[in-house]
Amino acid sequence: MKKRIANIPKIDRPREKLQKKGAQALSDLELMAILIGSGAGNYDVLSISKQVLKVLDSSAHQDLQKVKGVGQAKASLILAALEFARRRIHPKGFKISYSSDIFSIIRHYADRKQEYFICISLNGANEVITSRVVSVGLINMNHIHPREVFADPLMDRASGIIVAHNHPIGDFMPSEEDIMITAKLKTAANTLGIEFLDHIIFNKEGYYSFLERGDFFLI
């Protein structure tokens, strides 16, 4: 059975949860449900919110109205809220001193049901230029290719990058494949003259940093 607002205990519903625990305690899905406000027709607000998040993660913002239950008014509200937040709270220019700084930018992906592979471009002062989702789905050697990871950082004229991906299931310790991907990207970065600073694996409980653990220099 699909999870609907009406089936959730009142104390755990998005608005009530926000009032009790603050916005930072809500998942992306819950925050989007508050923005959308209500369902439409046969589509409940949580189902609509889930589809909207998929569209936003693909960066195809102009396709919001293709989501069933999202009309022009709701699409406009969502895009206005995103732009308002971007102008005031965005990672551009945020200086990265420790791996935990990056974790604060990407941790909202920890509650996703699929793996998200993210690339953060940095300038020479270790300030964030931008953060992008490179791939969504099962992370493996076939899906993560250096040309896809480095294409945008090259356009950004980035001095360095940090990559990260979430583990929806299990802990955040790297698999053999994670180690192989890290080594492959590090080699490509050396060839391109871009500094490969870290690979972070994370979930709801915390994160693993190749750099912090000292494993980065062994690859």
pLDDT, one tens digit per residue, over 190-205 is 999 999 999 999 998 8
Average pLDDT of 111-117? Answer: 88
Please indicate, yes or no, whether residues 196 and 147 belong to a single structural domain of this protein: yes
DSSP state of 1: -
Tell me the average pLDDT across 125-131. 91
Average pLDDT of 119-126? Answer: 94
Asked if residue 203 belongs to a domain, the reply is yes
pLDDT of residue 196: 96
Q: What pLDDT digit, counting tens, does each position of 38-58 carry? A: 777 778 888 888 888 888 877
Task: Answer yes or no: do 130 and 75 share one domain.
Answer: no
Mean pLDDT over each residue of the chain, to the nearest integer: 84
CA atoms within 13 A on the CB side of 107: 15
Which conformational region is residue 19 in: left (phi greater than 0), alpha (psi within -120 to 50 degrees), or beta? alpha
User: What does the pLDDT average to over 154-182?
Assistant: 93
Domain tally, the chain:
2
